[in-house]
Amino acid sequence: MDIRKLQTTAAGTFIVTIPKEWVAQLGLEKGGLVYMELEDRDVVISPVGGRAVQQSRPLYLDGSLDKKMLELSVTASYIQGHDITEVIADNPILPEQKKWIRESVDNLVGVEISEEYSEKVVLQNLVDPLKFDLGKSMGRFSATSLAVLEDSVKALMSGDRMLAQDAYERGYQSTRLYRLLMRLAIQGIRNRKLRDEMKIYDVGDVIVKTLAIKDLGRIAYYAMRVAEHVREIEKRPDAGTLEQIQSIAWTTSEMQEAAFEAFMKKDLRLASTVIDRMDEVRKTYEAIYLGSLKKTSAEPLAVSLIARGIRGIAGYTVALADDAVLAVFG
């Protein structure tokens, strides 16, 4: 931040000087053109025809960085919008550590290893944010988690463990889309010009979308966990329990569809109906849980975990409806 004095010209207009270091950094020169916009109470000046500078992040590999920490660090760099992440070590990177790096890259959309040396691995993101419509991509993400939940329940009803496994794998792969969506949203928050190019003209809108993406991410996580617990069941539950699980799953799916529609259309009334239906989910969940306590086999544990996962989806669906309310009054 730099404080400058506002001055006037003989014609009565106002002028302010710009630090020469900023001019050099932006690639401007005398006679160059700039955009001037009023954004709330801020005056925003940006170069005409300027290109976004690639964001780079060094990541130092030391003894404290195990496989999990490395994956979390690479993922965080990606989500924060860095185009290049350099994994650097003082000594040659071990083959096992390079394997960890490659596995981390596999979980990120558009990232490739562009350079590899004994003591450095350079990861480059090739995703063009302008190729994605944030709203439509969020819709695909929501539809994916809905399909995972629906197929998980179908697998439970029919005893099809292969379908449950397939649903689980699709749920796991959806985390790649979640990370991409978070990256796009954060880039939009940070870069006003990118927001304009993405046809998102209000930073508040992007912030609310970011909250919604996080809630959709939690919904996708619980859907994946439901599929995981379904595939663990060897003996089908009794007909009454199956009917209760099917009921709570249908209610939750309807809530999620309505919550996402309310969010995209900024429909306050529809969002309110989603919030009101949570009591219905709680009652069914309690019935399943109390029923499982009366049984002594190992299956009731998996059944209660399935019901808990569906309730978790419903809870974050209510959070998504809350996001819709924020969008209405944004």
34: left (phi over 0), alpha (psi -120 to 50) or beta: beta
Tokens of 7: 């001055």
Q: What pLDDT, on a 0 to 100 scale, did the predictor assign at position 35?
A: 79
CA distances from 322 to 75, 186, 318, 327 (A): 28, 20, 6, 9
Contact 156, 148 (CB under 8 A): no
3-state SS assignment for residue 111: strand
- CATH number among 1.20.58.220, 1.10.760.10, 3.40.50.720, 1.10.10.10, domain 130-328: 1.20.58.220
Domain segments of the chain as ranges: 7-47, 56-125, 130-328
56-125 classified as CATH 3.30.110: yes
Tokens 């599929």: give the residue: 227
Q: What pLDDT, on a 0 to 100 scale, did the predictor assign at position 30?
A: 85
Looking at this protein, which amino acid is placed at residue 153? V
Contact 252, 313 (CB under 8 A): yes
DSSP letter, residue 131: G
pTM as predicted: 0.84
Q: What pLDDT, on a 0 to 100 scale, did the predictor assign at position 296?
A: 53
Q: What is the DSSP string of 34-68?
A: EEEEEETTEEEEEETT--PPPPEEEEE--TT--HH
Tokens of 259: 């919550």
d(CA 309, CA 156): 14
d(CA 98, CA 233): 37
DSSP β-bridge partners for residue 120: 88
Tokens of 208: 């609310």
Backbone torsions φ then ψ of 153, nearest 5 degrees = -70, -40
pLDDT truncated to tens, each residue of the chain (330 aa)? 788 899 998 888 988 888 888 888 778 888 888 878 777 778 888 787 655 556 778 889 887 778 899 999 999 999 999 999 999 999 899 999 999 999 999 999 999 999 999 999 999 999 898 888 999 999 999 999 999 999 999 999 999 999 999 999 999 999 999 999 999 999 988 887 788 777 777 888 999 999 999 999 999 999 999 999 999 988 888 889 999 999 999 999 999 999 999 999 999 999 999 999 999 999 999 998 887 766 655 567 788 899 999 999 999 999 999 999 999 987
- Our measurement of the distance from residue 248's CA atom to the centroid of its chain's CA atoms, rounded to an integer in Å, reads 25
